[in-house]
Amino acid sequence: MTKRLSNKRILLGVTGGIAAYKSAEICRRLQDEGAEIRTAMTSAAQKFITPLTLQALSRNPVHLDLLDAQTESAMGHIEVARWADLILIAPASADFISRLAQGRSDDLLTAICLAADCKVVVAPSMNRSMWEKNATQNNMGEIQKRKIKILNPDEGDQACGEVGVGRLMEVRNIVNALSEMFETHSLSGKQVLVTAGPTREAIDPVRYISNHSSGKQGYAIAEAAMEAGAAVTLISGPTNLPVPARVKIVNVESADEMLEKTLSIIESTDIFISVAAVADFKVESPASSKIKKTGELKLSLELSKTPDILLEISKLNGRKPFTVGFAAETENLIKNAEKKLREKDLDLIVANNVSDPTIGFNSDLNEVTVLGHQLHKTFPKSSKKTLARNLVVVIAEKCLDSISYG
Ligand code: PMT
């Protein structure tokens, strides 16, 4: 059976309430669906369940203190916020919700929520009177305005002996709700083709020309498109990444091979997203056996241009897919990307500044500007996965527009 949360990174935040013991079960059930879990606990939560339990279950150290130099140097609160694809606070106490509503950041969990770019989900649990009070309901309204998702509490027997609304939502319903949140349906019925990673151009049987692309951005886009309901094929140069669930992989080495595989399925493709860092040059005549070292201090290789896959696709007569290119630039980012958008006749181009070592090639983070017809939108620095989901939203919207307006 397909795991609905495979490759998802979820930060489980636990606050002080009797339902804190259920966080252990939530952790296990999310893992059953393939999620990777990290946990953070408030000091009140630690009175109800020990960090050791969550550490053992999540197989990761528990984040406990904002001002603990050791934990912060291992993985600080900003890094944790960037690491997560989703933050779930379960159970969320009345006190925590009130602090979240105020935008506080004087403890670790509120600071992580404030720093987060990903979706934040709150599953409240408290005594029924505390839940009903205007103060709590006003706080709930406040956090909902900020697009924080609420998993409303269930009605029933409460640990305090009273009966009413305030019980933590059933664990299996929490897991279902989280799984559904990753599935948007904006690309339902679409065939999406993504290229990712570097290509390798052989010099001889043991050496090659390549680049620093890790494939992370392309794989994240393939996964986000799959979650949006598309049937996704990923043509990938050599990488060390796991293939996202439900994505069809086609492995290639060289630019020539990537072009051949791309052309073989482009006819049935609705959206083509060219994230691959295709080598621009290949060795004209690679040696058939290993080039031996000689007394010579220099070796000359004759290089020729590789095919420009994106250009080939944009020149296709007849059924050309909605085409999205990337522009990896070290200077004049927007100007150069606009030039590629025009010259390659693309629907969209994603301008990526690759001179900043904290983003672009190989980093887990990225920051890009998407350009297209009446579109100039910058996405600030975030994880490549979060960015991929945002890009898929734009691609789905613009692709739909292009169909509506011909
Ligand atoms: O893989 P990561 O480590 O996560 O890094 C992500 C990334 C930096 C590789 C990615 O975000 C990115 O910017 N990809 C485009 C890399 C690139 O080759 O850019 P370019 O400006 O040289 O090429 C422009 C476009 O033409 C790209 O869509 C590229 O895929 C395509 N191209 C380029 C050359 C070629 N021979 N064939 C092509 O199809």
What would the pLDDT profile of 299-309 be if each residue is shown by its tens digit?
999 999 999 99
93 CA distance to ligand 1 middle (Å): 46
Q: What is the pLDDT of residues 191-211, one digit of tens each?
A: 999 999 999 999 999 999 999
User: Which residue segments constitute the domains of the chain, with CATH numbers given?
Assistant: 9-181 (3.40.50.1950), 191-284+302-405 (3.40.50.10300)
Kindly tell me if the per-residue pLDDT of 184 is higher than 90: no
Q: Which stretch of 36-40, 118-122, 225-229, 294-298 has the lowest confidence by average pLDDT?
A: 294-298
Catalytic residue, candidates 27, 113, 160, 399 = 160
Atom 22, ligand 1: residue with shortest CA distance = 328
Q: What is the pLDDT of residues 3-23, one digit of tens each?
A: 889 888 999 999 999 999 999
pLDDT band at 405 (very low <50, low <70, confident <90, very high): low
Q: What is the pLDDT of residue 1?
A: 59
113 is catalytic: no
Q: What is the pLDDT of residue 14?
A: 98
Kindly tell me if the per-residue pLDDT of 317 is higher than 60: yes
Residue 88 burial (C-beta neighbours within 10 Å; 0-12, 13-18, 19+): buried
Kindly tell me if the per-residue pLDDT of 388 is higher than 90: yes
pLDDT band at 316 (very low <50, low <70, confident <90, very high): very high
Q: What is the pLDDT of residue 206?
A: 97
Q: Compute the average pLDDT of residues 39-65.
A: 97
Q: What is the CA radius of gyration of the chain?
A: 25
Question: Which ligand 1 atom minimizes the distance to the CA of 362?
Answer: 3
Report residues whose beta carbon is within 6 angstroms of any ligand 1 atom. 213-218, 255, 274-278, 280, 306, 308-310, 325-328, 340, 352, 354, 360-362, 384
Kindly tell me if the per-residue pLDDT of 403 is higher than 90: no
Q: Compute the average pLDDT of residues 137-152.
A: 96
Q: Which amino acid is at 333?
A: L
Query: Cβ neighbours of residue 253 under 8 Å, at least 6 residues apart?
Result: 199, 200, 202, 237, 238
Question: Which ligand 1 atom minimizes the distance to the CA of 214?
Answer: 3
238 CA distance to ligand 1 middle (Å): 14
Tell me what percent of the residues of the chain surpass a pLDDT of 70. Answer: 99
Q: Compute the average pLDDT of residues 312-334.
A: 94
Atom 13, ligand 1: residue with shortest CA distance = 328
Question: Which ligand 1 atom minimizes the distance to the CA of 197?
Answer: 1
Per DSSP, helices labelled H in 133-170 are: 134-145
267 CA distance to ligand 1 middle (Å): 22
End-to-end CA distance of the chain: 40
Q: What is the pLDDT of residue 71?
A: 73
352 CA distance to ligand 1 middle (Å): 9
Kindly tell me if the per-residue pLDDT of 171 is higher than 60: yes
Q: What is the pLDDT of residues 355-382, one digit of tens each?
A: 999 999 999 999 999 999 999 999 999 9
Atom 24, ligand 1: residue with shortest CA distance = 327
Q: What is the pLDDT of residues 217-241, one digit of tens each?
A: 999 999 999 999 999 999 999 999 9
Q: What is the pLDDT of residue 36?
A: 95
Mean pLDDT of the chain: 95
Q: What is the pLDDT of residue 20?
A: 98
Among 343, 381, 398, which residue's Cα sits nearest to residue 81? 381
Q: Is 131 helix (H, G, I), strand (E, B) or coil?
A: helix
pTM for the model: 0.82
Atom 33, ligand 1: residue with shortest CA distance = 278
Q: What is the pLDDT of residue 406?
A: 54
Question: Which ligand 1 atom minimizes the distance to the CA of 366?
Answer: 11
332 CA distance to ligand 1 middle (Å): 16
Q: Which of 274, 332, 384 to mutate to test the pocket of ligand 1 (most atoms within 8 A of CB)?
A: 274
225 CA distance to ligand 1 middle (Å): 18
